[in-house]
C-alpha cells in the first residue's frame, strides 16, 4: 500500500521544512523512531480512523498553519505542538465510538470516567510514545510537562460531543473582536480550532475525495452497528446500515457540524483557501442531496472525530 508510510514521511518532512529539528535539537533517529511507532499505533484495519486519516489531518493542519493569520504570529513551539497533535490526535483508535465503549463497560470508559474517553486515550498514548522514544528527553522537565499538557488540550478539543462549546466560544470571541494573536492563550485557542477544522474538513475537499472519505467513515460506523446488533445492544444512531445511508449521514454532518464551524473559520481567516473550502462544501452537500443513488456509490462501503 503506497500510503503505508505517509504519516511518517509527511510529518518528518514538515518538521524539517519548519526548521523544528534544528531549532529544538531533535535527534533524527529518535524523531524517525517516534513517527514509526506513532504510525504503528494506528489500527490499519480501521476503514477510517487509521494512519492515513492522521496523515490527512496533518496535511490539512499544515495548510491552516500557512494561513496569514497564523503564519505571521505562531511561534515555533506552537507549530511543533500543532503538527504533533495532528499526527497523534486519533492514536490507537479502536474503530468504535465513546458510546460503544461506555455501553460495553470497556476499561477505557471507566479509566476516563465516561468523559472524552477516546480523546483522553489518544493524548495519553501520544505522551507515552513521546516518552518511550525519548524525543524530548533533552528538554527541561518543566518545559516537557507544559508541552504534554498543551498537547492534551489540543487533542481533547477534537471531541465532537463538545463541538458546540468550542464553536460558541469561537463565535463570541469573533463577534467581540477578542482574539489577539500576540496573546499565547488566544493562539492556543486558534490552534484548537485549526485542529478541529483539520479533523473534519473532508466535506470541504473536492467531490471525489469527499465521497471516498465519506464511504470509509460510514463503513466504520456500520461495522460498529453490526457488532452492537450481535451483542444485543441498542444500535447507535449513525451506525444502523438498515436505516441510514452515506448521503443521509453526510447531509446531517455537513449541516450541523461542518458548515457552522467553517463559516466561523472563514470569518477568522478570510482567505482564498477558506472560500474554496466553503465552495466545495456547498457543492458536496448539493451532490449528496440531489445526485441519483447510483452516482453516490463509492469504491468502499462510524463518530465524526
Q: Is 49 a catalytic residue?
A: yes
Count of C-beta atoms within a 10 Å radius of residue 68: 10
Q: Give the three cell numbers for residue 175.
A: 463577534
Q: Give the three cell numbers for residue 61.
A: 493542519
- Phi first, then psi, for residue 137 (nearest 5°) are -65, -20
C-alpha span between 8 and 106 (Å, rounded): 30
Residue of 13, 43, 49, 208 marked active site: 49
Q: Which of 78, 96, 57, 65 is nearest to 219 (CA)?
A: 96
Q: Give the three cell numbers for residue 158.
A: 477534537
* DSSP, residue by residue, 208-240: HHHHHHHHHHHHHHHHHHHHHHHTTPPPPTT--
Q: Which residue has the cell 452515506?
A: 246
Residue 10, helix vs strand vs coil: helix
Catalytic residues: 49
Amino acid at each position: 500500500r503506497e500510503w503505508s508510510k505517509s504519516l511518517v514521511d509527511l510529518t518528518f518532512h514538515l518538521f524539517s521544512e519548519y526548521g523544528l529539528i534544528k531549532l529544538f535539537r531533535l535527534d533524527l533517529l529518535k524523531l524517525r523512531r517516534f513517527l514509526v511507532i506513532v504510525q504503528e499505533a494506528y489500527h490499519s484495519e480501521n476503514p477510517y480512523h487509521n494512519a492515513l486519516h492522521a496523515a490527512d489531518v496533518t496535511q490539512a493542519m499544515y495548510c491552516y498553519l500557512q494561513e496569514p493569520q497564523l503564519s505571521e504570529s505562531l511561534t515555533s513551539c506552537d507549530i511543533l505542538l500543532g503538527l504533533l497533535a495532528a499526527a497523534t490526535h486519533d492514536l490507537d483508535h479502536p474503530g468504535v465510538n465513546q458510546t460503544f465503549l461506555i455501553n460495553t463497560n470497556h476499561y477505557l470508559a471507566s479509566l476516563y470516567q465516561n468523559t472524552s474517553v477516546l480523546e483522553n486515550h489518544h493524548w495519553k498514548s501520544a505522551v507515552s510514545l513521546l516518552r518511550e522514544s525519548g524525543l524530548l528527553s533533552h528538554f527541561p522537565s518543566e518545559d516537557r510537562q507544559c508541552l504534554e499538557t498543551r498537547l492534551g488540550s489540543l487533542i481533547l478539543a477534537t471531541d465532537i460531543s463538545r463541538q458546540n462549546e468550542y464553536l460558541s466560544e469561537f463565535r463570541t470571541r469573533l463577534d467581540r473582536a477578542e482574539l489577539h494573536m500576540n496573546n499565547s492563550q488566544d493562539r492556543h485557542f486558534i490552534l484548537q480550532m485549526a485542529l478541529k477544522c483539520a479533523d473534519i474538513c473532508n466535506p470541504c475537499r473536492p467531490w471525489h475525495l469527499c465521497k471516498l472519505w465519506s464511504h470509509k467513515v460510514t463503513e466504520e460506523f456500520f461495522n460498529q452497528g453490526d457488532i452492537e446488533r450481535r451483542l444485543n445492544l441498542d444500535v447507535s444512531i449513525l451506525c444502523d446500515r438498515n436505516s441510514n445511508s452515506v448521503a443521509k449521514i453526510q447531509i446531517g454532518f455537513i449541516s450541523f457540524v461542518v458548515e457552522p464551524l467553517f463559516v466561523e473559520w472563514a470569518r477568522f481567516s478570510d482567505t482564498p483557501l477558506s472560500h474554496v473550502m466553503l465552495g466545495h462544501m456547498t457543492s458536496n452537500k448539493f451532490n449528496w442531496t440531489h445526485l441519483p443513488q447510483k452516482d453516490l456509490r463509492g469504491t468502499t462501503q462510524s463518530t465524526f472525530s
